[in-house]
């Protein structure tokens, strides 16, 4: 009987764990021996968490919801799903994560994990096509190519965002999809950016991923990964994508 009980406990430990500590949006869980890195966990009251630490006798997870309802000893279940985001053409014209554009649910039918291995240098094509910003002085002095990374650096109120928005507006009719990821910005600032893009007719080929200043730190942390996963879906379809973080 003792051995059967022990087996039952071990079996349960693999898929169900208990909260040891919780605080500052981080929880340490005992059990969950089979948990995977980046897996979604289900806490009580429909709060989700994401596995970040796999220690010998515990699992560390960041909470993607309010920790106020979670306490020591609560049961945590595995979902068996690595954290993923919806992808596809249905994302165009939307402000996502969370869906704050008031246009209802997004039904794409396709998802992509937010963590994936980037293709190696040898498999990539060399940069051979330009990407115009629409600002003549920049395009003349600092030509930017498709497939290139570019850093825009400067003090506040010097026009960094303006360059990025102008570049997105300039891709109209160029057969390029755009993703704009706003991390830790005020929601009013993001709304202004979206309005500018809408006025310029750019939302037809643009998706905005917003994790505002009021969002939890883990949501802000996964925002750039989510934006990248959305962009990589179009990359895999052979399309060109401009992504602004």
Q: What is the mean pLDDT of each run of 10 residues along the chain (245 residues)?
A: 66 78 91 89 90 92 89 91 88 75 70 86 90 93 91 94 96 94 93 95 95 89 92 93 96
Per-residue confidence (pLDDT) for residue 12, from 0 to 100: 56
| Cα(167)–Cα(188) distance, integer angstroms | 21
Per-residue confidence (pLDDT) for residue 99, from 0 to 100: 46
Strands 176-183 and 206-211: parallel
Per-residue confidence (pLDDT) for residue 11, from 0 to 100: 54
Per-residue confidence (pLDDT) for residue 215, from 0 to 100: 87
Per-residue confidence (pLDDT) for residue 85, from 0 to 100: 86
Lookup: tokens for 211: 């994790």
The angle that helices 160-170 and 187-199 make with each other, rounded to 10 degrees, is: 30
Per-residue confidence (pLDDT) for residue 191, from 0 to 100: 93
């Amino acid at each position: 009987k003792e051995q059967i009980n022990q087996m039952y406990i071990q079996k349960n430990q693999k898929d169900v764990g208990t909260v040891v500590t919780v605080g500052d949006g981080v929880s340490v869980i005992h059990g969950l021996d089979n948990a995977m890195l980046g897996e979604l966990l289900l806490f009580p009251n429909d709060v989700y968490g994401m596995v970040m630490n796999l220690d010998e006798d515990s699992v560390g997870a960041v909470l993607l919801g309010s920790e106020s309802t979670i306490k020591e000893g609560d049961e945590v279940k595995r979902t068996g799903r690595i954290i993923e985001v919806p992808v596809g053409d249905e994302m165009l014209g939307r402000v996502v994560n969370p869906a704050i554009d008031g246009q209802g649910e997004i039904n794409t039918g396709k998802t992509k994990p937010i963590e994936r291995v980037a293709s190696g240098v040898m498999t990539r094509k060399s940069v051979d096509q330009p990407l115009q910003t629409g600002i003549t002085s920049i395009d003349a002095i600092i030509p930017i190519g498709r497939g290139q990374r570019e850093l825009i650096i400067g003090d506040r109120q010097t026009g960094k965002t303006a360059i990025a928005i102008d570049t997105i507006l300039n891709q109209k009719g160029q057969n390029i999809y755009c993703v704009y990821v706003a991390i830790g910005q005020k929601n009013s600032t993001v709304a202004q950016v979206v309005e500018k893009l809408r006025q310029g007719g750019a939302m037809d080929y643009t998706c905005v991923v917003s994790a505002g200043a009021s969002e939890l730190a883990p949501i802000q942390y996964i925002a750039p990964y989510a934006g990248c996963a959305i962009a990589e879906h179009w990359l895999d379809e052979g399309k060109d994508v401009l992504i602004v973080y």
